[in-house]
Homo-oligomer: A and B are copies of this chain.
Amino acid sequence: MSAYFQKELTEIKKKILTLGALVEKHIQMAAEALYENDADLAGEVIRGDYEIDEMEVKIEEECLKVLALYQPVASDLRFLIGGIKINNELERIGDQAVNIAERVEIIARQKKYNFVFDYSKMVEKAQNMLKMSLDSFVNFDLDLAIKVLTLDDEVDFIKKKAYDKIKEAVNTHTDSAGYFINLLLVSRHLERLADHATNIAEEVIYLIEGEIVRHGLKS
């Protein structure tokens, strides 16, 4: 393939990483809004999501343009298809940041409770997973991508703990089920966020190994 083509691939990779950085920023903002009960910051995440959406659309168009123009085969073809899918996952991670922010808006409106589930560890793990999955994409690092898959189990474990703790809290604060359900839903959004990071890592493994491991490694 031509030097022009290689330049286009590098450009696409760079744009995906720029999108990744913006998505990471949105997660961080949503998490801070959660910790601080900050409805304004949550609103910022929600209003800013259009930017992520626009970037995703542009990157996909770019990939399709390059596919049509250069008609790559083998690993270059695979890279572009992988890029389209990773791009898609990033946009959905952005949606999860919005989902969390929407919960925060509701939670912040309700009266304060002594009970707060500490989500910082779960957030940190999910953020790590996203960071590692993007790093594995940049450096074509198989080991790192596989590590993301094992972290997913840890996130699931914390989600189960959140569920148990919050269920118990509902039983002792019977007048405020709404508050606790919203708090619980945060854990599901974080879990899905981690799932999307896992999807990215699986895509990277697929890119590297040249075979689909998506369902095999999971079970």
Chain A interface residues toward B at CB < 8 A: 50, 53-54, 56-57, 60-61, 64, 67-68, 71, 73-74, 77-78, 81, 84-85, 88, 163, 167, 170-171, 174-175, 177-178, 181, 184-185, 188, 212, 214-215, 219
Complex contact A215–B57 (CB within 8 A): yes
The interface residues of chain B lying within 8 Å CB-to-CB of A175 are 171
Chosen A-B contacts, 16 in total, with CB atoms closer than 8 Å, are: A50-B215, A53-B214, A53-B215, A54-B215, A60-B212, A64-B78, A64-B81, A67-B77, A71-B71, A85-B88, A170-B170, A170-B174, A177-B177, A181-B181, A181-B184, A185-B188
Task: Tell me the smallest distance from the CB of A94 to a CB of chain B, in Å.
Answer: 11
Complex contact B85–A74 (CB within 8 A): no
**Interface residue from B74, B78, B177, B215 paired with A170 (Cβ < 8 Å):** B177
Complex contact B177–A50 (CB within 8 A): no
Task: Tell me the smallest distance from the CB of A102 to a CB of chain B, in Å.
Answer: 12
Task: Tell me the smallest distance from the CB of A90 to a CB of chain B, in Å.
Answer: 13
**Interface residue from B68, B88, B181 paired with A167 (Cβ < 8 Å):** B181
Complex contact B212–A61 (CB within 8 A): yes
Complex contact A177–B167 (CB within 8 A): yes
Complex contact B64–A68 (CB within 8 A): no
Complex contact A50–B81 (CB within 8 A): no
